[in-house]
Homo-oligomer: A and B are copies of this chain.
Amino acid sequence: MAKEPWDDPRITTFGMLLEAHDALLCQMAGLPGLDAQLPMTWFEVLLRLARSGGELRMAELAAQVRLSTSGLTRLIDRIEAAGLVERRHCTEDRRGSFAVLTPGGQDLLRQALPAHIDAIERLVVGPLGDDVPVLEDLLRRLRDNAHPASH
């Protein structure tokens, strides 16, 4: 059986990243109560805002959740319509806006957090155990190496 170029093991490594990512995401999103009460994308927006003291500039938030600025505009449209965030005009730079976490948004985030943490516990801490920090280190190296010239 001839060794064809598409059998290169490096492609398999990369494929594993795609497969693991997708498998985990499907499990997270497919979880009964989890995605239903708060879509993953909404969750991450609320999370990033909470971690930044409740507000963030649109462009900065877009970068953090890895969306184009137009993608974020519409996402915030939807979340704002649900009352979980608000837009506030930036006074020093009248072009810009902040996305601001509302009390309702913060409540919902608090309420949704345990389910997400449980899911992570089951999906990554479970199978990896003490190796979790190793994975985190490897992934961080990948990200830091790739990110510089992105967007």
Contact = CB atoms under 8 A, between A and B. Distances in A.
A138 B128 contact: yes
- The A interface, classified by DSSP as helix, strand, loop or mixed, is helix
Number of copies of this chain in the oligomer?
Answer: 2
A69 interface: no
Q: Number of contact residues on A: which range applies?
A: 35 or more
A84 to B, nearest CB: 14
A23 interface: yes
22 contacts: A5-B110, A7-B51, A8-B117, A10-B121, A11-B120, A13-B135, A16-B135, A16-B136, A18-B66, A19-B139, A20-B140, A20-B143, A22-B66, A23-B142, A23-B143, A24-B146, A26-B151, A27-B149, A123-B145, A127-B142, A134-B134, A134-B138
